[in-house]
Homo-oligomer: A and B are copies of this chain.
Amino acid sequence: MADFRTPLRDMRFLLYDVFDFEAHYARLSDRERVTRDLLDPILDESARFAEAELHPINHVGDRDGCRFVDGVVTTPKGFKEAYRTYVANGWTGMTGDTAYGGQALPHSMSLIVEEPMTIANMAWTMYPDLSHSAMNALERHGTPEQKQTFLTLLLSGACTGTMCLTEPQAGSDVGILRTKAVPNVDGTYAITGTKIFISAGEHDFVDNILHLVLARVPNAPAGTKGISLFIVPKFLLNDDGTPGARNGVQCTGIEEKMGIHGNATCVLNFDGATGYRVGPENEGMRCMFTMMNAARLGVGMQGVGVAEAAYQASLAYARERLQMRAMTGAQNPDGPADPIIVHPDVRRMLLTQKAFVEGGRALAYYTAQQADLAEFGPPEQRDAAETMLSFLTPIVKAFLTEAGFESVNHAVQIFGGHGFIRETGVEQYVRDARITLIYEGTTQIQALDLLGRKVMMTQGKALLALVDEMQRFAKLCNGPMTDIGAALDRVASEWPTLSMATGGRAAADLNELGAASVDYLMYSGYATLTYCWARMAHAASKALNKDASSANDPYLAGKIATARFFIGRLLPRAEAHKRAIEAGAAVLMQVDAAAFDHV
């Protein structure tokens, strides 16, 4: 099993050199002011926790998984102890309202501080992630009483949360869910139905769990307009918040899965369980989206995180594994062969991982700044930030998980046959990463959201703003950065043209929207990553020229080299996606349903 070290260098480069988070935080209101003096120690502590406590139980968690006996779920060895440390460090309440025990840090702090944990142990980190989503929904849509009662318990870590959307017949199509919510005389509701695929739905971290459940009240309109949101505790609460009587919700089983074995994926059976409505009746989808948007950024970050772990493992292996000589002559003449990092295609696979991991991290941080600005930024900037956040969210979620999955497979390939063996630990990353392309809305759902809602329905508002920013930045890339600026300018010019053409065809035939969507999303991912790489190369170039000691810093030189790798070797894929879009819907839709058979 490879060692793991938190990529603090890369994180701090983004925080301080590329995106100037200190200045960013200084612009926010209603939040604690985050300075480098505050952030650095928190990051160090998160890194220590991730490396010392979470990473060592990642493989164990995969091997042993969660156990289910008679409605009780036991998490893998070490998992609940790690949660205790997490709570003791005050991380549960980081971004919460101080009125309910939170620390009022900006949204982005949660993404940044949890990143080392996601890298070290994705399955474990899902438990606090789910709580975090529940907090978001309650904070935005709960009544003061609900916040006092429930949010306080989540922020203190005494309870964890879940998101209960999926039912056996209702996955991407949330609108056809059937779980019922019948009003009781006391204003509560009786919730009855079956929810599946509920991550962290049952476990042994804490005594009580607060389920956020979508259900239909009697006579609700069909579809998503008839869905309401409820909070359903596993145990009803005593007046002091401690667990009281058992509520009518039971975990009836956990799934055997391809990966994330350390996280319990539960079937939850609600049988007249007492639920408390959050937000107005029939507006549950809107409330749930508050949870989902943050959760989608989190899943995008999982794509980056699991790829980071795999990158580190494969990089270490590529340096120590000796196979064959470099084509241009022995590089390790005293050994039986050269380390495989000398081989061009091993470098291609390493650099692809590096480009996706570092580029993805940059895109996620940039997007997290928009999340901060949308709620706490200067008032005149909030709308634009919200629009930009909405636009970038499906790209972060889908592109970074697709890129992450490609990355972890490169890591396995670098290990060769040893990568297929469980002992080396890299195949786990493939199995864990696979779910990130599916949950919180598949790549397909994100793609329809991006092209349909975020581009076409807004007439490309955020897209045009981002493209304008990209073109302005391209002009700053001059001197030895001219080639990078030119590549950025090229894609920034092409993207709106492609969007307009695609939108035009889609307006005439909605099948064109669906047919173009995933290729359009992937194109958009390469376009945004070009911007991120230009930003990083530019900042690295500045840092290299700052003083004599930086001039030979391989990390900084590597940034610029990786930007050129990205542009030369990965950005060409955008052209393939563009041409695939231009091929249109006909090649998909003209195939008769019977014509798929060939048996």
Contact A569 B583 (CB under 8 A): yes
A421 part of interface (Cβ distance < 8 Å): yes
Contact A518 B348 (CB under 8 A): yes
A598's partner among B7, B412, B572, B580 (CB-CB below 8 A) is B7
Q: Closest CB of chain B to A587's CB: distance in Å?
A: 4
A to B CB contacts below 8 Å, 8 in the list? A7-B599, A170-B323, A173-B322, A327-B511, A350-B596, A416-B438, A430-B434, A562-B591
A397 part of interface (Cβ distance < 8 Å): no
Partner-contacting stretch, out of A149-157, A364-372, A552-560? A552-560
Please report the C-alpha to C-alpha distance between residue A6 and residue B598 in the assembled complex, in whole angstroms: 9
Q: Closest CB of chain B to A460's CB: distance in Å?
A: 20
Q: Which residue of B lies closest to A357 (CB)?
A: B598
Chain B residues with CB below 8 A from A580, complex form: 568-570, 572
Contact B417 A171 (CB under 8 A): yes
Task: Taking A327-B511, A344-B588, A568-B584 as given, write out 18 further A-B residue pairs in contact, using a Cβ cutoff of 8 Å, ordered by the A residue number.
Answer: A5-B599, A7-B599, A10-B599, A171-B416, A256-B423, A257-B421, A345-B448, A345-B515, A345-B517, A347-B588, A354-B596, A412-B434, A555-B597, A565-B591, A569-B580, A569-B588, A572-B580, A575-B579
Please report the C-alpha to C-alpha distance between residue A477 and residue B346 in the assembled complex, in whole angstroms: 41
Chain B residues with CB below 8 A from A256, complex form: 421-423
Contact A336 B257 (CB under 8 A): no
Chain B residues with CB below 8 A from A6, complex form: 599
Please report the C-alpha to C-alpha distance between residue A568 and residue B516 in the assembled complex, in whole angstroms: 12
Decide: A420 near B438, CB < 8 A? Known: A514-B327, A576-B576, A585-B344: yes
Q: Which residue of B lies closest to A321 (CB)?
A: B171
Partner-contacting stretch, out of A96-104, A123-131, A210-218, A439-447? A439-447
A573 part of interface (Cβ distance < 8 Å): yes
For window 394-423 of A, CB contacts with B under 8 Å fall at 405, 409, 412-413, 416-423
Chain B residues with CB below 8 A from A515, complex form: 344-345, 348
Chain A 122-141 near chain B by CB (<8 Å), digits 1 or 0:
00000000000000000000
Contact A561 B584 (CB under 8 A): no
A500 part of interface (Cβ distance < 8 Å): no
Contact B258 A422 (CB under 8 A): yes
Please report the C-alpha to C-alpha distance between residue A588 and residue B575 in the assembled complex, in whole angstroms: 21
Chain B residues with CB below 8 A from A570, complex form: 580
Chain A 518-549 near chain B by CB (<8 Å), digits 1 or 0:
10000000000000000000000000000000
Contact A444 B591 (CB under 8 A): no
A589 part of interface (Cβ distance < 8 Å): yes
Chain B residues with CB below 8 A from A419, complex form: 438
Contact B597 A327 (CB under 8 A): no
Chain A contact residues, CB within 8 Å of chain B: 5-10, 166, 169-173, 175-176, 196-197, 255-259, 312, 315, 319, 322-324, 327-328, 336-337, 341, 343-348, 350-351, 354, 358, 405, 409, 412-413, 416-423, 427, 430-431, 434-435, 437-439, 442-444, 447-448, 509-511, 513-515, 517-518, 554-555, 557-558, 561-562, 564-565, 568-570, 572-573, 575-580, 583-585, 587-599
Contact B596 A568 (CB under 8 A): no
Please report the C-alpha to C-alpha distance between residue A573 and residue B595 in the assembled complex, in whole angstroms: 25
Please report the C-alpha to C-alpha distance between residue A405 and residue B344 in the assembled complex, in whole angstroms: 23
Chain B residues with CB below 8 A from A557, complex form: 592, 595
Contact A351 B573 (CB under 8 A): no
Please report the C-alpha to C-alpha distance between residue A452 and residue B457 in the assembled complex, in whole angstroms: 51
Please give me the 3 A-B residue pairs with the lowest Cβ-Cβ distance, nearest first: A558-B595, A568-B583, A344-B514
A576's partner among B259, B565, B573, B595 (CB-CB below 8 A) is B573
A587's partner among B327, B358, B568 (CB-CB below 8 A) is B568
Contact B166 A417 (CB under 8 A): yes
A172's partner among B8, B324, B590 (CB-CB below 8 A) is B324
Q: Closest CB of chain B to A439's CB: distance in Å?
A: 6
Contact A514 B343 (CB under 8 A): yes
Decide: A416 near B442, CB < 8 A? Known: A555-B595, A569-B587, A579-B575: yes
Chain B residues with CB below 8 A from A599, complex form: 5-10, 312
Please report the C-alpha to C-alpha distance between residue A255 and residue B418 in the assembled complex, in whole angstroms: 10
Contact A435 B420 (CB under 8 A): yes
Please report the C-alpha to C-alpha distance between residue A570 and residue B170 in the assembled complex, in whole angstroms: 31
Please report the C-alpha to C-alpha distance between residue A211 and residue B509 in the assembled complex, in whole angstroms: 61
Contact B517 A347 (CB under 8 A): no
Chain B residues with CB below 8 A from A431, complex form: 258, 431
Q: Closest CB of chain B to A336's CB: distance in Å?
A: 5
